[in-house]
């Protein structure tokens, strides 16, 4: 039994971070991209850069794609043919984003295809997210009327959820990399809330430093400084982990640039 437990720990601890690790991440990101599409369409029409392939059902007499139509348009032809959206996707004004993201797990949505989400062949994830953030911020300062219907607040909620889901996805890998540098660390966790709306678990650096110092008899203040230094700029040999870490940093910056949820709702 003990050997099985050790094997399972090793299998988990050294498993790679993959984009498929949390489908909810992709779903919330697709919702965020959709809000970018709505705003880009309102400002630039056919010259928009986000969702350039999206065309509403001609029988609907709509000028705007639904969530399901947009998601289908950003997938490869093969994946789009397999997609089976529910009626929750038949809207241009999503309500409960959590319910929508959960429902999308049954749509067979995987991820966007290169060249389908935006014009051009940009494939850097952080840049694609930033395109949406930039168009939202442009609208806020120059065309606020296109943000009617609480679009900015809903987009902010979607990005907060992207942030939280990516934090959840990376936590065990963060702990693994942290223990490469601090092998005797006694890791403690805490719950972090974003805007008192979404939450995720993260390393509690103060509690971890205190528990580790008690175990190793190291100086608490010095140990906490070292741990916080690592937290702000983690090293390590796992390039994939570092790429995800940098992407998280970009998402935090973009979310901050949108302002607080309250300020987004005030528009």
The least confident of 117-126, 139-148, 227-236, 251-260 is 117-126
pLDDT, mean of residues 81-92: 96
Which pLDDT score, from 0 to 100, does residue 225 have?
A: 97
CA 209, CA 204: separation in Å to the nearest integer? 8
Tokens representing 88? 């929750």
CA 148, CA 262: separation in Å to the nearest integer? 15
Q: How confident is the model at residue 33 (pLDDT cuts 50, 70, 90)?
A: very high
Which residue, among 39, 264, 63, has the nearest Cα to 145 in the 3D structure? Answer: 39
Q: What is the pLDDT of residues 162-194, one digit of tens each?
A: 999 999 999 999 999 999 999 999 999 999 999
189-194 vs 198-203, strand pairing mode: antiparallel
Which pLDDT score, from 0 to 100, does residue 240 have?
A: 86
Q: How confident is the model at residue 157 (pLDDT cuts 50, 70, 90)?
A: very high
Which pLDDT score, from 0 to 100, does residue 115 have?
A: 84
pLDDT of 224 strictly over 60: yes
Mean pLDDT of the chain: 90
Q: What is the pLDDT of residues 94-137, one digit of tens each?
A: 999 999 999 999 999 988 987 899 987 666 888 899 999 999 99
Its sign, for the CA torsion 54, 60, 63, 64, is negative
Which residue, among 208, 210, 228, has the nearest Cα to 218 in the 3D structure? Answer: 210
pTM of the model: 0.89
In terms of C-beta density within 10 A (0-12 exposed, 13-18 middle, 19 or more buried), how is residue 38 classed? buried
Angle, vertex CA 18, rays to CA 98 and CA 13, nearest 5 = 105
Measured N-to-C along each axis, helices 151-181 and 23-44 cross at an angle, to the nearest 10 degrees, of 140
Which residue in the block uniquely carries the two structure tokens 């390590």?
Answer: 236
pLDDT, mean of residues 151-172: 97
What is the share, in percent, of the chain residues with pLDDT greater than 70?
Answer: 90
In DSSP terms, 200 is beta-bridged to 192
pLDDT, mean of residues 227-250: 88
Which residue in the block uniquely carries the two structure tokens 């043919």?
Answer: 81
């Amino acid at each position: 039994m003990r050997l099985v437990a050790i094997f399972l720990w090793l299998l988990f601890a050294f498993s790679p971070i993959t984009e498929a690790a949390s489908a909810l991440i992709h779903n919330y990101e697709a919702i965020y991209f959709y809000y970018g599409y709505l705003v880009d369409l309102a400002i630039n029409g056919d010259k928009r850069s986000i969702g350039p392939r999206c065309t509403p059902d001609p029988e609907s007499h709509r000028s705007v794609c639904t969530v399901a139509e947009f998601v289908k348009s950003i997938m490869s032809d093969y994946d789009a043919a397999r997609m089976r959206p529910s009626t929750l996707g038949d809207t241009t004004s999503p309500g409960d984003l959590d319910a929508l993201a959960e429902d999308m797990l049954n749509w067979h949505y995987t991820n966007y295809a290169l060249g389908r989400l935006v014009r051009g062949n940009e494939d850097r994830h952080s840049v694609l997210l930033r395109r949406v953030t930039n168009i939202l911020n442009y609208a806020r300062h120059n065309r606020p009327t296109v943000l009617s219907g609480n679009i900015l607040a809903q987009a902010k909620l979607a990005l907060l959820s992207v942030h939280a889901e990516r934090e959840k996805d990376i936590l065990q890998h963060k702990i693994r990399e942290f223990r490469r540098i601090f092998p005797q660390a006694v890791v403690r966790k805490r719950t972090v809330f974003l805007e008192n709306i979404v939450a995720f678990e993260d390393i509690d650096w103060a509690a971890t430093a205190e528990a580790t110092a008690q175990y190793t008899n190291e100086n608490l203040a010095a140990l906490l400084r070292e741990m916080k230094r690592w937290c702000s700029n983690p090293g390590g040999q796992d390039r994939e982990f570092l790429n995800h870490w940098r992407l998280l940093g970009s998402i935090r910056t973009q979310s901050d640039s949108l302002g607080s949820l309250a300020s987004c709702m005030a528009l």
